[in-house]
Amino acid sequence: MIDFDNVGLRYGMGPEVLRDLTFDVPRRSFQFLTGPSGAGKTTLMRLMFMSLQPTRGFVRVFGQDITTIPQQKLPKLRRRIGIVFQDFRLLDHLTTYENVALPLRVRGKEETSYRTDVIELLKWVGLGDRMNVLPPILSGGEKQRAAIARALIDQPEILLADEPTGNVDAPLARRLLRLFLELNKLGTAVIIATHDLSLMDQIDARRMILSGGRLEIYE
């Protein structure tokens, strides 16, 4: 689904943050992306989300070279990818419910058609009684779960989650991980960027480790 071929990336005139990356993310796969802070996990996520282009090499998403995708086709492709930003990016003037429903709303769907799905998902991530609350009032962990729910709501083909357990305690992290696994069983390829070793130790999954700009993969 996502193919990297000898990809290198530098910001401006800086050093190469990513070097010679060659890997692919297979359909229905589950993997962790790890490495120390500043290793380039977020940068790699942005490449996969097509919000950044490589300085050299090729990135193909759904079989298309991202450097040649015309701008107006980006939204349609991005709709097939769910993303959890490290900084959540919830809209402060919308309630938790409205934030989670946002991807469906911008696809032009009627509120009545998704209402129960959104409520179900919110209950699943433990935000059943925080639906009418605005993000500034939510705790860090609640915001994180709202951001995850928003990424999942339209059952994407690929889920990119940047530090999705960074702000939650261990039991909730386990619960979220179970949620990701469940989603994966339903057919979504999942990529979780994290530096939390204990999280990765819980399941036996593919590990992609970034260090010094290079990537090592342990199947």
Ligand X SMILES: Nc1ncnc2c1ncn2[C@@H]1O[C@H](COP(=O)(O)OP(=O)(O)O)[C@@H](O)[C@H]1O
Cα–Cα distances (Å) from 217 to 21, 68, 77, 88, 201, in that order, read 11, 28, 26, 27, 16
Instruction: Rule CB under 8 A: say whether 206 interacts with another protein.
Output: no
How near is the Cβ of 2 to another protein at its closest, in Å?
Answer: 15
Taking the least distance from each CB to another protein, the nearer of 27 and 109 is 109
Q: Does residue 41 touch ligand X according to CB under 6 A? A: yes
- Measured in whole angstroms, the distance separating CA 137 from the mean position of its chain's CA atoms is 23
Of the residues 37, 68, 113, 116, which one makes contact with ligand X according to CB under 6 A? 37
* Cβ distance to ligand X smaller for residue 35 or 103: 35
Q: Is 91 in the site for another protein (CB under 8 A)?
A: yes
# binding residues, another protein (CB under 8 A): 44
* 84: nearest Cα among 25, 184, 164: 164
Residue nearest to Mg ion (CB): 42
- Binding ligand X by CB under 6 A: which of 42, 99, 144, 194? 42
Sign of the Cα pseudo-torsion (134, 139, 144, 148, in order): negative
Handedness of CA 113, 110, 161, 141 (dihedral sign): negative
For residue 16, the minimal CB distance to another protein (Å) is 11
Residue 170's binding partner, choosing from Mg ion, ligand X, another protein, none, with beta-carbon cut-off 5 to 8 A by kind? none
Beta carbon nearer to ligand X, 100 or 191: 191
Binding of residue 49 to another protein (CB under 8 A): yes
Specify the stretch interacting with ligand X by CB under 6 A; choose among 11-19, 139-147, 177-185, 198-206: 11-19
Within 162-181, the residues that bind another protein by CB under 8 A are none
Residues in contact with ligand X by the rule CB under 6 A: 11, 14, 17, 35, 37-43
Which spans of this chain sit near another protein (rule: CB under 8 A)?
A: 9-13, 49-53, 55, 66-67, 71-72, 74-76, 78-79, 83, 85, 89-91, 93-95, 97-98, 101-103, 105-108, 111, 115, 119, 131-132, 150, 154
